[in-house]
Amino acid sequence: MSRVPDQVRSVARRARTEAGRVVRRARRALAPAPVPAPAAPPEPPPRLETARALPTPEGWSVEELQAVMRSFTIDDSPPGALDGYWQEAFGRFLHTWGLVRDEHGRLLELGANPYFLSWLLTRFTDLDLTFGNYFGAAGEITQRLGLDERGTAAELEMRSDLFNMEEDAFPYETASFDVVLFCEIVEHLLMDPLHALGEIHRILQPGGALVLTTPNAVRLENVLAMVNGFNIYDPYSGFGPYGRHNREYIRTELVRLIEFAGFEVEVCFTADSRPIDVTGTATYAAVAPSLVARSGDLGQYFFVKARATKPPREGLPRFLFRSWPEDRLVD
């Protein structure tokens, strides 16, 4: 029997090996593609709570309070003319009332017009009220407030002292009030909030309460607006320079300013005044995780209650003022 040469056997082995490779490649090409495992659903964004439970007078529902405010007229204003205002500010009125409902003595409400909060104070506190406003000239004014309270019509005379809270000496004796409300005013001031805060400190009894509210510059709505490229600054107002928001604040600025003016902050929180739900927007889903650390600081308004416990500091706080002589600025 003849022997197969070694080189022939080697060629045959290589041919069989190559044929095996071709078969395996063909099988892989014809095999169905593997089905990928289903992707895990994305984590839902955290819910950032900006609302806060509303305090209400005993025996009164939110709906009943809203019905009274819906009935408000001032002087000869038509019914419903003030709807936009109270609907925007309803929660703010109740949170502010909640900060003073247990206080006693004399209270000065600055910026009282259009008197929604004034009605809550008149109806649901034991405080002796004085009202201050400014409509462009000093003096005094009496306005007629018409309302319907649970089916009973009433008309109240609201007398206010008129003065420029940023420039004028307040027309009250030193240490003559136990509580001063300074609500939705500080953001309108043009030049120097310390004058008004200094006058408030002067007319308060030692240890008297300042309640201040103002829009939160870094509220959730503003954060989302800026991410989307929208301007958050207030438009020019037909009511003149005091008709617009000239300077809004963040929490640290507001607390430092109030402390600089001689007050000790007891309470400072943010809350929404009207319902808002932005949790379904793509911007919210993208931004919310980075806001968790300041989730309690995103409400529409700041609510501050402070006590006059020490003398106001001299000069101007450097963190809030610039382009002043160096000897006027303090750290």
pLDDT tens track for 250-299? 999 999 999 999 999 999 999 999 998 999 999 999 999 999 999 889 99
The number of folded domains in the chain is 1
Give the torsion sign (CA, 60, 93, 201, 270).
positive
| pTM for this prediction | 0.87
**Is the per-residue pLDDT at 6 higher than 70?**
no
Q: Are 101 and 173 in contact (CB under 8 A)?
A: no
Q: Does residue 26 fall inside a structural domain?
A: no
What pLDDT sits at residue 1? 46
The pLDDT value recorded for residue 272 is 97
Residue 112 lies in a domain: yes
Whole-number pLDDT of residue 41: 76
CA 147 to chain centre: 29
The pair of structure tokens assigned to 231 is 């301007």
pLDDT above 90 for 2: no
For residue 149, is it within any domain? yes
CATH code of residue 157: 3.40.50.150
Tokens of 152: 């009973």
Q: Look up the domain containing 159 and give its range.
A: 87-320
Q: How far apart are the first and last CA of the chain?
A: 111
Which pair of structure tokens corresponds to residue 270?
Answer: 């943010």
pLDDT at 39: 77
- 66 lies in some domain: no
Would you say residue 284 lies in a domain? yes
Residue 11 forms part of a structural domain = no
Say if 98 falls within a structural domain. yes
State the chain's mean pLDDT as an integer: 92
Per residue in 126-182, pLDDT tens?
999 999 999 989 999 999 999 999 999 999 999 999 999 999 999 999 999 999 999
Confidence band, pLDDT 50/70/90 cuts, at residue 36? confident
